Amino acid sequence: PDRAAAKAAEERNGQLTKPPGALGRLEELAIWYAGWRGDARPRIDAPQVIVFAGNHGVTAQGVSAFPPEVTEQMVLNFRRGGAAINQLAKAAGAKMDVHALDLDKPTADFTQGPAMGEDEFLAALRAGWQAVDPKADLLVVGEMGIGNTTPAAAIACALFGGAAADWTGRGTGVDDAGLANKTRVVAEGVAMHGGNGDGLEILRRLGGREIAAMAGAIAAARILRIPVILDGFICSAAAACLAHSAAGSLDHAIAGHQSAESAHGAVLARLGMQPLLALGLRLGEGSGAALAINILKSAVACHSGMATFAEAGVSDA
């Protein structure tokens, strides 16, 4: 970040017509955003939402309440504008892009071997990297991939330790037997692949194409100085792989929403992030992060649009 811009933004914040600190977290958000954009009085005009889709070999283990063909059906729904994320992106004034990654070629079942070969993994990272619009001034990455809370749980367990059950939740809604089965699958994956290399190698072995693409996009945004709002459990697992590989790699990111998926709060705590919202969503698609775009926009609008005490002729305390 640009420390001079952040410092200038902090000074401006102290002069605005409000008691000190009275805008709460909006104040720190605006200053953080100003620093990353290198502009003490920034605007948010061009948010981008990207939804990546991938299919998962591990669905053969019966880990999801929905059949895998739903991934492709939902991609069509995204393209036609019928999904929740379409409405949320529109309400946030964001453009939305959809990238389906080799849906006809699911990743390998990670209980049998690495989910992706090295070439496949790099292609997915690159797809994410290249999907980021360099002209965007805010990025949300979301995902669709039937079964993908299972790789996300396996990644979290491999990165952060603990038992598979600590990180495995109900996803789109499996029953008790489904949850027990899913926990077994996560435990088997972590037993086979955990402890092999850093976050990126964990991502290759236990992740999926859409999860790798999210990581690629988040990393690209840092280079482009585009702030990122992280979405729920799967997005946070992707981000955690970056943080594990290089300290500070999420300094340009904040958490938009704490998902109802049970382990998301624990992942955010490990990342040292406090979500802006906690409204019980557990949909993925980037929905929770998209919902938070307007909060960040509002913070920046206050910061850049308000009058100072001197401009308004208001008596300071």
State the Cα–Cα distance between residues 41 and 9, nearest whole angstrom.
7
Site membership for its own copies, residue 272 (CB under 8 A): no
Site membership for its own copies, residue 307 (CB under 8 A): yes
Site membership for its own copies, residue 43 (CB under 8 A): no
Site membership for its own copies, residue 310 (CB under 8 A): no
Q: Which range touches its own copies (CB under 8 A), out of 20-28, 122-130, 197-205, 265-273?
A: 20-28
Buried b (16+ CB within 10 A) or exposed e, 146-177: bbbbbbbbbbbbbbbeeebbbbbbbbbebeee
Exactly one of 20, 113, 161, 197 binds its own copies (CB under 8 A); that residue is 20
Site membership for its own copies, residue 276 (CB under 8 A): yes
Site for its own copies in 77-106 (CB under 8 A): 77, 80-84, 86-88, 90-92
Q: Which amino acid is at 83?
A: A
| Of residues 17 and 245, the one with the C-beta less far from its own copies | 17
How many other CB atoms sit within 10 Å of the CB of residue 250?
A: 22
* Separation in Å, CA 309 to CA 12, 264, 306: 11, 42, 10
CA 185 to chain centre: 24
Is position 201 annotated as part of the catalytic site? no
State the Cα–Cα distance between residues 12 and 8, nearest whole angstrom.
6
| Of residues 195 and 313, the one with the C-beta less far from its own copies | 313
Helices (H), 194-286: 199-206, 209-223, 233-245, 264-271
Q: Kind and range of the H or E element at 289?
A: helix 287-305
| Of residues 88 and 157, the one with the C-beta less far from its own copies | 88
Cα–Cα nearest to 275, from 249, 261, 262, 257? 257
Site membership for its own copies, residue 175 (CB under 8 A): no
State the Cα–Cα distance between residues 235 and 142, nearest whole angstrom.
7
| Of residues 84 and 217, the one with the C-beta less far from its own copies | 84
| Of residues 108 and 277, the one with the C-beta less far from its own copies | 277
Q: Which range touches its own copies (CB under 8 A), out of 117-125, 135-143, 149-157, 305-313?
A: 305-313
Binding interface with its own copies (CB under 8 A) = 16-26, 65-67, 69-70, 73-74, 76-77, 80-84, 86-88, 90-92, 172-173, 260, 276-277, 279-283, 287, 291, 294-295, 297-298, 301-302, 305-307, 311-315, 317
